Chain A
Amino acid sequence: MDSTFQNLVLGFSTVLTPTNISYSLIGCLIGTMVGVLPGVGPLAGISMLLPTTFGLDPTSAIILLAGIYYGAMYGGSTTSILMRIPGEAASVMTCIDGYAMAQKGRAGAALAISAIGSYIAGTLSVVGLMFLAPPLARLALGFGPAEYTSLLLCGLVVLSYMTGGSIIKNMAMIVLGLLLGTIGIDQMSGYFRFSYGLVALGDGIGVVPVAVGLFGISEILATAGHPDTRQVIKPTLRDLLPTGEELRDSAMPILRGTVLGFLIGIIPGSAHIISTFVSYAMERRLSKHPERFGKGAIEGVAGPESANNAASEGALVPMLALGVPTGPIPAVLLAALMVHGITPGPLFIKEQPAIFWGLIASMYVGNVVLLLLNLPLVGIFVNFLRIPYRILYPTILLFCVVGVYAVNSSLVDVGIMTAMGLLGYLLRKFDFETAPTVLGVVLAPIIEFSFRQALAMSDGSYAIFLQRPISVTFLGVGLLMMLFGLKPLIWRKGKDWRDRLTQAEKSN
């Protein structure tokens, strides 16, 4: 415990410099803009803005990127409340009661409770992250190649189950991502694989062009040309004060949403989206007046918004402690850290404590900055919503090109982004999820390396994966999830939570 607080003091001493506070401020501002603008989710936003961090030292770069991440997660709620358009899929549940409140003239209160809930959830989740990540990293130091392979396989199967939609399609997307991840020089033999003479492909396909293509470009391909029918409710600064009753009604949903969101966030898949569903359902179940839900119940905003923010930070636990991202956003953050020479994983916390604890401290600072910035500046953010999409999408395309090109100064990356944009567009049309592909690309080198190492260690016997208790546990969980996922294909019943998740992702 003492060492945790000593480390935290170290983190704050790294972060609390005028320069780093400015970066946190800029990151939160840009992130909120990214979250507010339709068509630019946190994933595409972080990918596009990654080059802006190249000239910075690693700590400042992480602080800026983390600010963009929290800002984008928070910004999505603004459009949900004011326009009934979720800025990103995790804000779908906020649309229901948030917009109903806005129609009753309580938009300001909904925004304020959303900001307060996000702040409390974000801050408490950082405490969880702070205490959970270091012991998890120490535990992972004992993992061998077999355990790592099983952990990654289990993570990918859980992801395909938790993402919603058809599990077969999700698994196919993971395999596609893993195949894309095998392009380039084989780490163990030095062979060029599937590179067709392109030297630039030697290092493999980068996660940034894949993520920007599959999320950023495919989004504008799918939405450009549709008529703009946006109407924005603009709250005044005076409206932003919630009443005493609204604050009292929100207190417990915020706390419940925080715990729920953090725990769900650690699980691979669309955790931040799932956590909002579970939180909303739980609040309605626990409410003495469930009939108010859907008609402007403040609990319907407070719970899901807190859960969403807590889940975003819970997702950082496995990414930082194990080096295993649980979703596409942590995957891009992982890639961003690697660009700056930082490799998250069991040794990261031990070997680079200043950066790890700096990141933790920056989260505390980021949450305060978000709370202080977003409420007074809501009027300005609302003005961004007035920009017509026909002006917005060419600008997004420009930022996508800059963001992707600048990572390696490579036109091949811009070409990959274009190809992935087309692929992502077609995949959306054919009801496929693209998030598993991004994760597959990131994890392919790690999973292949540990798989081949495990086989080499066991003289080619696959039994190694079943002989080790940790490995067999991971495989058991993965198998269980796969069976759960396949169940609806055999027994066709009514809609379950996975169908609702798919609907939410489509409605975004």
Chain B
Amino acid sequence: MTIDRVSGSALVLLGLFVVWERRVLPLGTHTRPGPGYFPLLLSMLLIVLGALLIFQGGSAQALRSLAWPEAPHALAILACSAFATLFLEQIGYRISMGIILGFLLGVMERLRLWLVLTLTLGLPLGTFWLFDSLLRVPLPRGAWGF
């Protein structure tokens, strides 16, 4: 299996998914196209392009040959980003960013303790001051007002 065939199949599946999800939206007519008209055209185009990719992707790079040396770091960063999505407003910007930086710098990168503490405290507090206090861009404070 090649990377082009895998991605082509994913595009076809995505196109089919949009066709299915679009069924609740009125298509309208050619004269008065409805909200489902344009997404249907696009999803059909996506299916065609995905099929073309599958058709001509036989000579592309093999899926097995893809290397993922950065995967552990990538997973950690994604987890941190997801953590920010879930907890930024609940525990506040400064605490959530402190936890994220502490995890990435201390656990993932194993930097020296003094450096981890300096950056974990300094960056969230500093950026909060810069954005929230100085530039008046409101950042979340969390349940404890911090």
Distance from A291 Cβ to chain B, minimum over Cβ atoms (Å): 36
CB neighbours of B95 from chain A (8 A) = none
CB neighbours of A414 from chain B (8 A) = 81, 84-85, 88
Instruction: Flag A200-240 by CB within 8 Å of B: 1 or 0 each.
Output: 00000000000000000100111111100000000000000
The chain B residue sitting closest to A432, CB to CB, is B7
Judge whether A224 and B81 touch: CB under 8 Å.
no
A196 to B77, CA, bound (A): 27
Contact residue among B18, B49, B105, B131 (Cβ-Cβ distance under 8 Å from A394): B105
Given the interface pairs A169-B53, A175-B45, the reply to whether A418 lies near B38 with Cβ below 8 Å is no
A391 to B101, CA, bound (A): 9
Distance from A452 Cβ to chain B, minimum over Cβ atoms (Å): 5
Q: Is A70 an interface residue (CB 8 A)?
A: no
Contact residue among A51, A415, A431 (Cβ-Cβ distance under 8 Å from B135): A51
Judge whether B77 and A217 touch: CB under 8 Å.
yes
A221 to B74, CA, bound (A): 4
CB neighbours of B50 from chain A (8 A) = 172
Given the interface pairs A398-B124, A406-B137, the reply to whether A189 lies near B34 with Cβ below 8 Å is yes
CB neighbours of B105 from chain A (8 A) = 390-391, 394
Q: Is A12 an interface residue (CB 8 A)?
A: no
Judge whether B123 and A395 touch: CB under 8 Å.
yes
Distance from A82 Cβ to chain B, minimum over Cβ atoms (Å): 25
CB neighbours of B21 from chain A (8 A) = 194
CB neighbours of B31 from chain A (8 A) = 455-456, 459-460
The chain A residue sitting closest to B2, CB to CB, is A430
Q: Is A42 an interface residue (CB 8 A)?
A: no
Q: Is B82 an interface residue (CB 8 A)?
A: yes
Q: Is B64 an interface residue (CB 8 A)?
A: no
Number of residue pairs spanning A and B whose beta carbons lie under 8 angstroms apart: 179
A414 to B83, CA, bound (A): 10
A222 to B72, CA, bound (A): 11
Given the interface pairs A456-B31, A489-B56, the reply to whether A418 lies near B70 with Cβ below 8 Å is no
Judge whether B56 and A168 touch: CB under 8 Å.
yes
Instruction: Flag B1-14 by CB within 8 Å of A: 1 or 0 each.
Output: 00110110001001
The chain B residue sitting closest to A54, CB to CB, is B137
Given the interface pairs A168-B53, A460-B30, the reply to whether A401 lies near B7 with Cβ below 8 Å is no
Q: Is B145 an interface residue (CB 8 A)?
A: no
A387 to B43, CA, bound (A): 45
Judge whether B74 and A425 touch: CB under 8 Å.
yes
**Chain B, interface SS category:** helix
The chain A residue sitting closest to B6, CB to CB, is A430
CB neighbours of B35 from chain A (8 A) = 186, 188-189, 191, 193
Distance from B50 Cβ to chain A, minimum over Cβ atoms (Å): 7
How many B residues have CB within 8 A of the partner chain?
Answer: 69
Q: Is A472 an interface residue (CB 8 A)?
A: no
Instruction: Flag A168-199 by CB within 8 Å of B: 1 or 0 each.
Output: 11011001101100100010110101100000
CB neighbours of B30 from chain A (8 A) = 455, 460-461
Q: Is A507 an interface residue (CB 8 A)?
A: no
Judge whether A406 and B39 touch: CB under 8 Å.
no
Judge whether B136 and A418 touch: CB under 8 Å.
no
A448 to B97, CA, bound (A): 39
CB neighbours of A394 from chain B (8 A) = 100-101, 104-105, 109, 119
A166 to B52, CA, bound (A): 11
A275 to B4, CA, bound (A): 29
Judge whether A402 and B80 touch: CB under 8 Å.
no
A55 to B130, CA, bound (A): 12
A409 to B131, CA, bound (A): 13
Judge whether B33 and A452 touch: CB under 8 Å.
yes
Contact residue among A191, A399, A401 (Cβ-Cβ distance under 8 Å from B81): A401
Judge whether B131 and A52 touch: CB under 8 Å.
yes
Judge whether A226 and B81 touch: CB under 8 Å.
no
Q: Is B113 an interface residue (CB 8 A)?
A: no
Q: Is B143 an interface residue (CB 8 A)?
A: no
The chain A residue sitting closest to B109, CB to CB, is A390
Judge whether A411 and B85 touch: CB under 8 Å.
yes
Q: Which of A's residues lie within 8 Å of B, judged by CB? A: 51-52, 54-55, 166, 168-169, 171-172, 175-176, 178-179, 182, 186, 188-189, 191, 193-194, 217, 220-226, 390-391, 393-395, 397-399, 401-402, 405-406, 409, 411, 414-415, 417-418, 421-422, 425, 429-432, 448, 451-452, 455-456, 459-461, 489
A–B Cβ pairs within 8 angstroms, 26 of them: A52-B137, A55-B135, A55-B136, A168-B52, A171-B49, A172-B50, A175-B46, A191-B35, A193-B36, A194-B39, A220-B77, A394-B100, A394-B119, A401-B81, A405-B139, A418-B84, A421-B78, A425-B74, A429-B66, A430-B7, A431-B3, A431-B4, A431-B60, A451-B38, A456-B32, A460-B30
Q: A188-B35, A226-B69 are in contact. List 14 more A-B contacts (CB 8 A).
A: A169-B4, A172-B49, A178-B42, A179-B46, A186-B35, A189-B26, A191-B35, A193-B25, A226-B70, A401-B84, A406-B131, A411-B88, A414-B88, A429-B66
Q: Which of B's residues lie within 8 Å of A, judged by CB? A: 3-4, 6-7, 11, 14, 18, 21, 25-26, 29-39, 42-43, 45-46, 49-50, 52-53, 56, 60-61, 66, 68-70, 72-74, 77-78, 80-82, 84-86, 88-89, 93, 97, 100-101, 104-105, 109, 111, 115, 119, 123-124, 127, 131, 135-140
